[in-house]
Structure 1
């Protein structure tokens, strides 16, 4: 009979099943990692050709371009004309053409897309 009391006390001391659940949840994350290495899907909205405004057309051309190409051409223009702030590479110092697009003298690279989207239709 002593064995029966030991088994019942052992059952009472067992950890609840809830504590074991997080360990089980961690296993699917490890399995999901290889799936992330698969080719990234491109958002089709980014690849849709957009018509640039006259102001933006002076920089990137007047043909319809996807947003990705517009941003690339603007960066080419910025680097060609050395319009990045030498003290802070994140800032773009607008020349006359870029002032028409941005509306201000200086923007950060993170704000640039917001200003470009206003000139694409």
Structure 2
């Protein structure tokens, strides 16, 4: 049984597409900085920003309440779900 768990871990390699540094748009750069970053780092930095600015809905932690910087990234929306958030990043990374 232990052998199969080791094989499963070995089979799960990081996706190289997720590790490729991408240039953030000016709107996203206002939150994460202008240096090219892998997608995983972009998500981490946005979460740091959300937590530092207390932008999680206290009644529903899965909901992000956008300030003016995040509204620019989220297409003008006041709030998005944490799952919807990653779709918006795709429009701001190249």
- Other-structure match for 2:45: 73
Matched, 1:119 2:85: no
Specify the alignment match of 1:8 in structure 2.
Answer: none
Greater relative contact order (Cα 8 A, min sep 6): structure 1 or 2?
2
Higher mean alpha-carbon deviation, 36-45 vs 83-92, is at: 36-45
**Which structure has the highest strand share of the two?**
2
Question: What TM-score, normalized by structure 2, do the two folds share?
Answer: 0.91
More helix by share: 1
3-state SS in 2 of match to 1:58: helix
**TM-score, normalised to structure 1's length?**
0.71
Instruction: Write the distance in 2 (CA, Å) between the matches of 1:31 and 1:75.
Output: 36
Provide structure 1 residue ranges, at least 5 long, that are not aligned to the other structure: 1-29
Note the 1:1-121 alignment, pairs <5 A: 32-38=4-10, 40-103=12-75, 104-121=77-94
Bigger radius of gyration among the two: 1
Q: CA deviation at 1:31?
A: 6.9
1:114 counterpart SS class: helix
Instruction: State the Cα RMSD in Å.
Output: 1.8
Match of 1:24 in 2: none
Unpaired runs of 5+ residues, structure 2, are none
